[in-house]
Every structure is written in C-alpha cells, then in structure tokens.
Chains A and B, each alone.
Chain A
Amino acid sequence: MKVSLLARIAILLIAITTGACTSAPSNVLTIGAAGPMTGDQSKMGIDLRHGVELAVDEWNAKGGVLGKRIVMQVEDDQHDPKQAVAVANKLVNSGVVGVIGHWNSSASIPASGVYSQGKVVMITPASTNPRLTEQGFPTVFRICGRDDQQGPLAARFVRERFPNAAVAVLHDKTTYGQGLAEEFQRALGAGPRVVFSSGVTQGDKDFRAVLTTVKAARPEIIFFGGIYPEAALLVRQARELGLTAPFISGDGTYDQKFLEIAGPAADGTYLTFGPDPADFPQSQAFLTKYHERFGPHGPYSIYAYDAANILLSAIAQAGTTDGLKLAEVIRGTSHQGAQGEIRFDARGDVLNAPYIVWIVKQGRFEQFWRPG
C-alpha cells in the first residue's frame, strides 16, 4: 500500500511538471475544451471533450487548418465559477484560437468575460442561461437553446396536461437551475398554482427533509431546475417517502446517469430537451463515428462536435485566428452541422433551437410531447 502510494505521488509530480512546460510550437493551433471533467458532473465534461476530440481528429486527418496541426487543450472547471475563471485565464494565456465550453451556465458566464477581454471565440455547447449572450460580448456564442425557451415550454406542457394543478418548484440555486425554475414559474400563468418553492444545495445527498415538506404541500407535479446528480436523488428519495407526483425537469437531467442513479423511480419523469439526433439522417455519420470511438453519445456530445467544427471551419474560411474576425465569420455564415443547419443571430444565439418534452418509460427516454 505504501509503495503504490509513493508511485502515485511520483506519477502526480511527473504529470504536474510535464503539464507545466507545454509551450505551443508555431506549427500547431490549440483549441480549448473546458467543462466539468472531474466530480459528480464529469460525465458531461467528458462528453464535451469527446465531441471536440472527434472533430479535431477529422480535421487533422484532412491536413489540419491553415496548414497547421490542431491540438486540444482540455481544462477542468469542476463546475465551479471561480475555477472556470482560472481555467479561462489559463486558456487565454496559452494562446488558444477558441474555446468549446463551458458546460454549466454558472461557469460559462464568468468565463465569457475573460474570453471576451482576450478576444478569444467561445462557443458553449450546453449553457442555456439567457444572460450569457445578453452581455453583448462579440466573441461569445451558444449552440444550444435558452432557458427562456425550455422553461416556458415546460410551463405550457404543465398548463395543457396538468390544468389547474398544484405545482411545487425546486432548484439547485445555481445560475442554470434557479434561472430555469424562474423562467418556468414566470411562464406558468393563470391556472396551475405554485404551492411550494425552495432551493436545495448542490452536492447534497439527502433531500428527505425538503421532500417531506413538499409532500405536505400536496403538489400534483414537481418542477426541478438542476442537474442529474441532484435530480436523480430527489426522484428516488421522493418515491421512498411515498411522494408520487411526477417530476418535470430540464436538459441538465437528460442523461443515462440520471436513469442509472434513480433506477425504477425515474419512470414517469418528464424532461425538456432537444429532439433525438438518431432521427435525423444528417446526424448518422457522427453517431456511427462517435459510437465506434467512445461508446454511446451523451446529450451534448453532438453539440460539442458541431461547435468545434464551426470554429475550425471559420478559421479555414477567415484565413486568420484573430478572434474578432472569426466571430464575424461565425455570425455571418450558415453552418452545416451534424444536427443540420446552424445559424447565429446578432447576440450569438442559434436561430432555431427546438425543445420537446421527453418522458422516462421503463428506464429509457422517449419523446413524449411537442408544442402543437
């Protein structure tokens, strides 16, 4: 035990020293990939990294971009705003030509200020909080939808399917979770009434106290704004307490990990997320390649892949790595991605981000409802 520990320390030291002296030679271009690579949400960061990696390898196989080989610099923000800023500074200082990330809105928003100042293009594959693109940063893009689209969709679904229902609203107090819960609540309108509303602590493992209070409020449906580690435990512990009202949540809960942790208790949970890429002919090539290399794709793998392709083709088209020029090209071009056509508006949001309602049935996500 003592020896293996020493060996680990030695490996760590070597890793730190080699990591510290990577300086980019001029015949390569570095693009950054940032997200939660370790910790409870690491599945999301790793999906993001895999998506970018696939795109980078395809470009390198075709000879790179501007005659240079592309390398990836992966950084772990641990879904922590402070860490995200540190990571952003590190990426800007090492001269990346653009960053795919971050995953969490609470990481993307503070990091976007650093990228904007460094005139580095940032394309987030997953951060849905509206504020990210409302800051007026020219180099900040978002390739997924916004919470003021998916929150109101969830509200409309509840209005139509659970008219006049008693609704409980929970969120994880993060930029994303609380923001989404507020968008949902604002769009709920007359009819359904909110009987309970509270935050839970991210990273907590025991939600029985708050769920007992929720149960006493007798909701007919429970909205949760947050990510799958908390969502799965909420659903699981609610069922153990005899709280049978269905949950409805957002894109942060859409992952296999949610099903794995929640187990049979996940059945009947509603989620808002984009449509399944498996249904689109243009996504098939990506899905096949991804499955061969990394196994099943995560919810945001395809978004990360498209984001990396958009960045790299903009560099090829602009013939430069100047961030502001790249941003102009990205904004002015219609991109053909694995998800279909992608175009950005003046703020840096995608023009078309369809959300639908999914349901968990017998341990699988199924498309359930789309706005008529």
Chain B
Amino acid sequence: MFLQQLINGLTLGGVYALVALGYTMVYGILELINFAHGEIYMLGAYIGIIALGLFTAWGWTAAAPALSLLAAVAVAAVYCGAVGATVERLAYRPLRRAHRLTPLISAIGVSIVLQNVVMLTQGSADKVFPRLSDAPTTFAVAGATVSALQLWIVGISAALMGSLHLLIRKTRLGLAMRATAQDPRMASLVGVPVNRVITATFVIGSALAAVAGVMVGLYYGVVNFFIGYVAGIKAFTAAVLGGIGNVPGAMLGGVILGVLEGLGAGYLSNEYKDVIAFVILILVLIVRPTGLMGERIPDKV
C-alpha cells in the first residue's frame, strides 16, 4: 500500500511541478504571482479534450494512442503558450511600471475572465475526457498497480523539467532569462531584449501548464472550468515550498507536495487531503519563507 500511495503521489507531484514552474519562472523575472496560471492549466485540459475528440473522430486514437496523446499535448502547449503571451501583453506589460499590487489584481481579473470564457463556451457541467483505450494498460509492481498513463505522466514531466533545466543553464535564451531575473534594467542596458525574454518566459510556463492540464484530464477522466483554482493553489504551494523564483526548487516542491499529499491521504485522513497542501503552505511561510532551495531575497528598494 505504501508503494501504491507513493506512485500515486509521484504522479501528482510531476503535475504539480510542471504547473509550479510557471509560477516560479514568472515570479523570478517579474516578482509577480501570476494568479491566472491555474486557468491556463484548465484551458490546456479543455484544448486537450477538443484535440483528442477530433483525433478520435478521425480514428487516430484507435490507431496510435501514444502518438495521439503526444499530439494533443503539443496542440494544447502551443495554444496555451500563445494565450500566455497574449495575457502578458494585454494584462501585465501595460502595468510594468505600476505599483506591485496592480498587476496582481490584473492577474486575478484575467483568471476570472478565462474561467468565464471557458464556462460560457464549453458549459458549466463536467466534460468527459475521451478514453485512449477501453481497458487501461496496467503493470503490477510488488503488489502495487502502475498504469501506463502514470508512467507517461511521470516520464513527460521528467523530460520537460530536464529540458527546461538545460534551456536555462545552457542556451542564450536561458542566459538572458537569468540576467533579466537578476536585474531587468541592467540586462536591458547590456543588450538583453527584456520584453522578448519575458514573453518567452510566459510562453514556456503556459505551455508546461497546458501539458499538465491535458495529462491530468486524462488521468482523472473529467474536467470542468473550475479545476484551475485548486490546481493553481497547490502548484503555488509547491513553488513556495521549493522557494519561489527558484526553478529546481519548484520541481522539488511539486514532487514533495504530491508525495506528501498521497501519503497523508493514505495514512492520516483522506477527508483532509486538500488541507495538507494548505498546512504546508502556512508552515513554510512561517518557518522558512524562502522555501527549501530559495535564497534570502533582499528587499528591492
């Protein structure tokens, strides 16, 4: 049973980590908590449903379920990347020089708008995800059951996190992102196109959230327009736990949160499953506000 809860928790953790990355990257560069990020994840799940619905109608899912999954994930990532860039351009960039709380309120507004757009166009009832196969493939490992989908989720999450790490550490874009995170004005003085770097950050973060959305939709079986709220809070908790602004921290925070939630629900009380995340958030904020891997952030004057 321990192993099973661990597997369940790791799957969740991979998803939380993907969403947490978007929070932490945006915070690292703009010091903005992008409260609309959870809605991007929800939007990704809906795009996934629409894409998989089309693929099923065209007979692709029956012919190549794994490829269809990857294609749906890609479609959602591209779409949500574009939405993320648009949101940044329309809702955050005009407020770049405003008081720090102003873009925060704008973010809450974007979140409400996205929720309602999806509710009005897709309806408020739960949407059922198309099934990739009628009998899910499962493997028995030492008394626990692992589904193929769980392996996919963990695998895709790990691959994306690895790629992101390489992107930030090894590429010119990554270098520009790190420079912008340290000091946007200085970065622009030495020729870093700050606005383009910020757009790229939003595109990457939103695409990761969309991937998480599609995979979770498949994993749970249904989505509705409200799922971004709880997922957003949990991913935010993961980002804070790892140290907000710290990319490896968000990955670690996501995995730890998922595993703690799985084990807590299994051994403490299932009824308080969601409370675990919030207790962790409060404890981290009281005991170690910089998170597990965060450095002390000097106050900006």
Contacts of B145 in A (CB 8 A): 240-242
Give the size of the chain A interface in residues (CB under 8 angstroms): 37
- Also in contact, A209 and B227, with CB within 8 A (given A201-B274, A261-B222, A263-B134): no
Is B105 on the interface with A (CB-CB < 8 A)? Answer: no
Interface string of A255-266 (1 = CB under 8 A from B): 000001101100
A233 to B103, CA, bound (A): 38
Inter-subunit contact B221/A209 (CB<8 Å): no
B122 within 8 A of A: no
Min C-beta distance of B134 to chain A, whole Å: 5
Residues of chain A with a CB closer than 8 A to B289's CB: none
Contacting residue for A200 out of B1, B117, B223, B271, CB 8 A:
B271
Question: What would be 8 A-B contacts, judged by CB atoms less than 8 Å apart?
Answer: A8-B120, A39-B125, A39-B224, A42-B123, A198-B271, A204-B273, A209-B262, A263-B134
A206 CB within 8 Å of chain B: yes
- Measured CA separation A37–B159 after assembly (Å): 42
| Min CB–CB distance A238 → chain B (angstroms) | 11
User: B4-12, B56-64, B188-196, B291-299: which lies at the A interface?
Assistant: B4-12
Q: Which of A5, A40, A229 contacts B113 (CB 8 A)?
A: A5
Interface mask (A153-164 → B, CB under 8 Å = 1, otherwise 0) = 000000000000
Residues of A within 8 A of B (CB): 1, 5, 8, 38-40, 42-43, 173, 198-201, 203-206, 208-210, 212-213, 215-216, 229, 232-233, 236-237, 239-242, 260-261, 263-264
Q: Which residue of A lies closest to B12 (CB)?
A: A206
Interface pair A241/B4, CB less than 8 Å apart: yes
User: Is B266 at the interface (CB under 8 A from chain A)?
Assistant: yes
Contact indicator A210/B270 (Cβ below 8 Å): yes
Q: Which one, B33-41, B135-143, B166-174, B249-257, is touching chain A? A: B135-143
Are B138 and A242 in contact, CB atoms less than 8 angstroms apart? yes
Q: Which residue of B lies closest to A262 (CB)?
A: B221
A212 touching B147 in the complex, CB below 8 Å, given contacts A204-B273, A242-B140, A264-B134 = no
Cα of A173 to Cα of B270 in the assembled complex, Å:
12
When distances are taken between beta carbons in the complex, the residues of chain A under 8 Å from B116 are 8
Q: Is the CB of B117 within 8 A of A240?
A: no
CB < 8 Å neighbour of A233 from B117, B221, B273: B221
Given A38-B124, A42-B125, A201-B271, output 5 extra A-B contacts at Cβ < 8 Å: A199-B271, A209-B262, A210-B265, A229-B126, A261-B221
